[in-house]
Amino acid sequence: MADWLEEQLRQAMATLRDQRDRIEGAKAELAARTASATSPDRMVTATVDVEGAVVALKFATTRYRSMPPEQLASTLLDVLGRARQEMRDAVVEVFEPLVEQRADLRAAMAGTTPVDAAFAAIWDEAPPGPFDRRKG
């Protein structure tokens, strides 16, 4: 195998390993996180995990006992929705840089990076061979 191809494969594998390690790190970071929201009257706080499952409900007072059921349900749904939204925002924050890198990786694998465009004329002039990049 040509040395330059072997080096390209080595670099691609290193990039893939790095990406895998970053994804695993992001997953571990998120698995350790929770998100919470508190009602405007500070009566209840809901906490969710990365999957949106409720891991805690804390009532600051016993006022909830005398609330009409519809009002209590509405308050609980509101804090749960806001806690889940906070967790979704955290997931986006953690994974967004990885998604941007993934686009770069896809471009490199597809041969559509700016470097590929710069060398397109050279590839067009090269004789056909096993690593021919010409479309055809």
Dihedral sign for Cα 84, 85, 91, 94, please.
negative
Contacts with 31 (C-beta within 8 Å, 6 or more apart), sequence order = 50
pTM confidence score: 0.64
pLDDT at 78: 97
The Cα–Cα gap between 27 and 98 comes to 12
Q: Are strands 35-38 and 54-59 parallel, antiparallel or unpaired?
A: unpaired
What is the number of other CB atoms lying within 10 angstroms of the CB of residue 39? 18
Render pLDDT for 38-95 as a digit per residue (tens, 0 to 9).
999 999 999 999 999 999 999 999 999 999 999 999 999 999 999 999 999 998 888 8
Q: Are 48 and 58 in contact (CB under 8 A)?
A: no
Q: Output 77 or 112, whichever has higher pLDDT.
A: 77
Kindly state the average pLDDT of the residues 19-28.
88
The Cα–Cα gap between 133 and 136 comes to 9
Q: Give the strands of the sheet with 44-48, arranged side by side.
A: 35-38, 44-48, 54-59
Kindly state the average pLDDT of the residues 85-112.
76
Kindly state the average pLDDT of the residues 84-113.
77
